[in-house]
Structure 1
C-alpha cells in the first residue's frame, strides 16, 4: 500500500497537473486502474473543446418515464433489480410488458423535449441502468430516434460516470462546454464529481435531480432541484 501511495504522489494528471490521488475517490470506478485513468485524461486532452455545445445526459426510469403505475403491482414491489426483470419475464414477457406499460404518450413531456432537442449545439444521451434488451425496448416504445439520440445501458448505476467519459471520447469526439445530467437518483454521480470535473476542467457540469408527479400527473415534473453538486 505504501508503494501505491508513492506512485500516486509521482504521477500527475495530464490535464490538471495535480497529484493523481486527488482524482481518486475511495470507491471510484475511475480508480480501479491508474493507467486507465491517465489514458482517459490524455485522450480527452486531444479532443476539440466546443464552448458553445451542450450535452444533455438523461436517465430513463423515473426521469424520462414514470414507473409509478408498475410499482403499484405487488409483484414489482416485492421484486426489484434483477428479480424485477425475472418477474417481468415470467409473468409478461418483455414485449407484452412494454405493450402494457409503455407508450410515447405517457412519457414525461418536459424531459422528452430535452432528449429530442437535437441541434448543432445540443446533443442528448440516454444513460440508464438495467438489462440492455429491456431498456432498448423501453426507449423504442417512445419512438425516440436512436440514430440521433444515443442509448447506453449499464448493469449498475455507479458505472454511469465512467461510461459518460467513454461516450465523450469514443462517440461525441469533442469536449462539450456544458453537460446537464437529469436524474431521479443522482447519487451515482456524487462520488465521482471531483474526478469528472478534473477530467473535464473547462466544462460546466450541472446535475439536476428530477422529482416526478404522483398518479394522474405522471407525465409532468413535480420539481427539479437544480445543480445539486455545485463547485
Structure 2
C-alpha cells in the first residue's frame, strides 16, 4: 500500500512544501473517500489535463435550487413521509403521475434555467443532483432539461457530488478556468472541501448558496457566495 508521502510527486507541481502535499493528500482522502493508491491515480490524471481558462463550468443542483419542492411538500402525504419514505410514496403514486403533477418548465427558477439554456463554447453546464436515477432524470425532462445539453448527472448521496464532479472533468478532457456551483445545501463544497477542490484543479471555484423566494419560488431571494 502506498503511503501518504508517496503522493507528493503526484499532487500539484505548484505545491513546493512537502508538508503541504501531505496535508492536501489527507484532505483529498476526506473529500473523495478514496484510498491512497486511488488518490495517486486521480491526481496523476488531473495533472495531465490542460486548463482552458476561457471556459466556465456551471454545476447546478436540481431540488430546491433549480426547482422548488415547496408545493410538493405542502401535500399532507409528503409532510408525513420524508426521505426514503417519501420515495416510497412516490412509487405508490407512480413516478409519471408524480412528475406530471409537480414538475413543469414554468415552475423552474428563471435565472438558473437561463444559465442552462444559454450554453455556448465558453459556458458549459451540468445538472448534478442526488436521488434515484429514474426519478431525477424524469424531473429534469419535465422542466425541459433532456439529453446531453446540459448533461444530467445523478448520484445516490449529496456527499458524492464533489468526487462525481471531478470524474466529469476527467471525462471532458480538460479543466475549466472557473467552476460555479449552485446549491441550496452546499455543505459538501464548502470549507476544507472547497479549498481542496480548488487546490487539486488549480482554478477558482465559486459556490453560490441559493435561497429561493417564499412567495415566488421561481425567483432567487439571495445568494451567499463563497470563493475558493
TM over 0.5: yes
Q: Which residue of 2 aligns with 1:224?
A: 223
Alignment of 1:132-147 (within 5 A): 132-147=133-148
TM-score by length of 1: 0.89
Q: Which residue of 1 aligns with 2:185?
A: 185
Kindly indicate whether the alpha-carbon contact (under 8 Å) linking 2:105 and 2:143 is maintained by their aligned counterparts in 1.
yes
Match of 2:11 among 10, 14, 38: 14
Alignment of 1:94-109 (within 5 A): 94-109=95-110
- Cα-Cα RMSD: 1.9
- Structure 2: tracts of 5 or more residues without a match: none
- Match status 1:156 vs 2:157: yes
SS of equivalent residue, structure 1 residue 28:
helix
Kindly indicate whether the alpha-carbon contact (under 8 Å) linking 2:32 and 2:160 is maintained by their aligned counterparts in 1.
no
Match of 1:64 among 54, 59, 66: 66
Matched length: 221
Partners of 1:26 and 1:42 in 2: how far apart?
13
Deviations 1:144-203 (A, max 9, x none): 242221111111100000000000001x211100000000000022242232112101x1
* Dislocated runs of 4+, deviation >3 Å: none
CA 1:24–1:116: 2 relative to 1, 3 Å: farther
- Structure 1: tracts of 5 or more residues without a match: none
Deviations 1:72-106 (A, max 9, x none): 1122223222221101111x210000110000011
TM-score by length of 2: 0.90
SS of equivalent residue, structure 1 residue 144:
coil
Deviations 1:84-129 (A, max 9, x none): 1101111x21000011000001111001011122101100010000
